[in-house]
Amino acid sequence: MSDQAKLQTSSNRWGFLLRALALLPLVAAVACSTVHGQVPEFAAKPQVPVARGEQTAVFAGGCFWGVDAVFKHVKGVSSVLSGYAGGNAGTAQYETVGSGSTGHAESVKVTFDPAQVSYAQLLRIFFSVAHDPTELNRQGPDSGTQYRSAIFYVNDEQKQVAQDYIAQLDQAKVFSSRIVTEVTPLKGFYPAEQYHQNFLARNPTYPYIVFNDLPKLRALQKQFPAQYKQ
């Protein structure tokens, strides 16, 4: 199956494309409304020294195309890989994950230098511009558990920071609804098919990207200019 044929098998996104062509103004307005304002910084002071060397973090926030692109434009991030987390290796294929029954979520694996950008700063960007953490098992036009909001922590420090930060934002009522982001241990990360990697940069005029993901990059540049990289 060709890459284009694989893309056309994505019923959620392909169906959205057809609807978008008929409802351009409405879809654009809805997409823009999913970009939130900048959330407050993590209030707690770090209890451990900054780790040396590169670290990894795994986030899920709907379609991995846009989340991947956001983190690729953050200073201190050396690489971002789109993939699947939450299920097992045997079901880590796009068509299978799309059934919503595998336990997987479309995710991104972020490799970063904590001396340049902290895990808490990555979380702030995740909650501010990468997705809407109050949407349960959906994100924008995509629905299903594979599009859920989740933080897959790789150690106890990440777990504590994520839980404390969510509690802080909920207590401050930063969002009009409660944050539904799961905080769960990373049991495995499985890279997605090659045609999904770096999708936004390779397909900047694809309608789904234009309506749903380019607004996230503009929000990142506007809200976090000191941390934005071209």
Contact at 8 Å (CB) between 200 and 68?
A: yes
Q: Are 106 and 60 in contact (CB under 8 A)?
A: yes
Eight-class DSSP state of 55 = E
Separation CA 150–CA 180 (nearest Å):
8
Helix, strand, coil tally for the chain in percent (to 5): 45, 20, 40
The set of catalytic residues is: 63
Report residue 143 CA to chain centroid gap. Answer: 14
- For residue 150, the SS3 value is strand
Output the CA angle 169-173-175, nearest 5 degrees: 85
- The two structure tokens encoding residue 188: 């495995």
3-class secondary structure, 205: coil
For residues 39 and 48, what is the distance between their CA atoms, to the nearest angstrom? 23
